[in-house]
Amino acid sequence: MQTFLSIAFYVGIAALVIVLFLGIANLARTDDNQASRSNKLMRLRIFVQAIVIAILVALGALAGAFKIGF
């Protein structure tokens, strides 16, 4: 399980970097849909960040960094 979460973490980080670069590239555009696209990319980036953070917390729990429960 820890190996799967480690791989998922790195895939999530890669996806996050891709979305971030797409957002930066979108800033250079000047078409009519630029603002709408920028907003959608920002929402997608926040969603991907939340998933990556959840995976990171799960990895920490599996590694014994903290205890969940009583």
pTM for the whole structure? 0.83
When pLDDT is averaged across residues 19-38 and rounded to a whole number, the result is 93
What's the pLDDT score for residue 70? 61
As a whole number of angstroms, the distance between CA 8 and CA 53 comes to: 11
Distance from chain centroid for Cα 10: 10
What's the pLDDT score for residue 7? 96
Is the pLDDT reported for residue 18 higher than 90? yes
When pLDDT is averaged across residues 60-70 and rounded to a whole number, the result is 79
DSSP assignment, residue 21? Answer: H
Is the pLDDT reported for residue 51 higher than 80? yes
